[in-house]
Chain A
Amino acid sequence: DIVVTQSPLSLPVTPGEPASISCTSSQRLLHSSGYNSLNWYLQKPGQSPQLLIYLASNRASGVPDRFSGSGSGTDFTLKISRVEAEDVGVYYCMQDLQVPLTFGGGTKVEIK
């Protein structure tokens, strides 16, 4: 199974400041079609997860442009250029290159 590791576990942030979350996989996530099979989700308190970034670097529909994803192979990053209060919640990366699909342990983002 592909192991996905996220850091940090917790991320206190000041509104208006940037934030960054790292995701590392135990195997390369490069699909034969040329894209990286790594997605980012945000689970706001009391809600289902919602897609933020797909295929490592593509913002999902409706996602503000302060969110960006980067990386390739085994190392990926989610960045928030300027954190807003509505961005609090738990962020998960997930690989879907192969089953079993696996998630990172989550990063809890909270406002200082």
Chain B
Amino acid sequence: EVQLVESGGGLVQPGGSLKLSCSASGFTFSDSAIHWVRQAAGKGLEWIGRIKNKPQNYATAYAASVKGRFTVSRDDSQNTAYLQMNSLRTEDTAIYYCTRRETFIDHWGQGTLVTVSS
């Protein structure tokens, strides 16, 4: 069974940093791209970034709203992906989901809540 488990969320002050983890199991992690999607309370879904697999040179891409502040990485030996978030703003407050994509996004984690507030 494919499982994606996010962790690392919490309360952080504006301007602060946080690193989220996405632990994967039940599939060959190194074959898949990992995408991160977030959802502010009562709002819709927003794609924020992705990292491809090794054959695709671990290519990354980001939404304009987070480019230069967020970094996606992965450790295939640990079946884990990461989302490093710097210079956090109040508008980054949301549930953050990691997702798996092969030809399409087919599995989502349960999400981890990030709250940016003073």
Which positions in A face B, CB cutoff 8 Å? 37, 39, 41, 43, 48-51, 54-55, 60, 90, 92, 94, 96, 99-106
Q: Could you give, for residues 37-62 of chain B, a 1 whenever the CB lies within 8 Å of some chain A CB and a 0 otherwise?
A: 00000001111001000000000011
Interface size counted on chain B using CB atoms at 8 A: 21
Do B105 and A39 touch (CB < 8 A)? Answer: yes
Do B44 and A101 touch (CB < 8 A)? Answer: no
B110 contact set on A, CB distance < 8 A: 48
Q: Which of A90, A101, A103 has the most CB of B within 10 A?
A: A101
Bound Cα distance from A92 to B61, whole angstroms: 22
Q: A54-B104, A96-B101 are in contact. Are A101 and B109 (CB under 8 A)?
A: no
Tell me how far the C-beta of A99 lies from the nearest C-beta in chain B, rounded to whole angstroms. Answer: 4
Do B105 and A96 touch (CB < 8 A)? Answer: yes
Report the nearest A residue to B108, measured CB to CB. Answer: A48
Q: Could you give, for residues 88-101 of chain B, a 1 whenever the CB lies within 8 Å of some chain A CB and a 0 otherwise?
A: 00000000010001
Q: Which of B35, B45, B97 has the most CB of A within 10 A?
A: B45
Do B97 and A48 touch (CB < 8 A)? Answer: yes
Q: A55-B103, A96-B101 are in contact. Are A102 and B47 (CB under 8 A)?
A: yes
Report the nearest A residue to B59, measured CB to CB. Answer: A99
Tell me how far the C-beta of B56 lies from the nearest C-beta in chain A, rounded to whole angstroms. Answer: 13
- With beta carbons under 8 angstroms apart, the residue of B47, B50, B64, B106 that contacts A51 is B106
Do B104 and A48 touch (CB < 8 A)? Answer: no
Q: A48-B111, A92-B45 are in contact. Are A101 and B104 (CB under 8 A)?
A: no
Bound Cα distance from A49 to B110, whole angstroms: 9
B46 contact set on A, CB distance < 8 A: 103
A90 contact set on B, CB distance < 8 A: 44
Tell me how far the C-beta of B77 lies from the nearest C-beta in chain A, rounded to whole angstroms. Answer: 26
Q: A48-B111, A100-B63, A101-B35 are in contact. Are A39 and B104 (CB under 8 A)?
A: yes
Tell me how far the C-beta of B17 lies from the nearest C-beta in chain A, rounded to whole angstroms. Answer: 23
A105 contact set on B, CB distance < 8 A: 44
Do A37 and B44 touch (CB < 8 A)? Answer: no
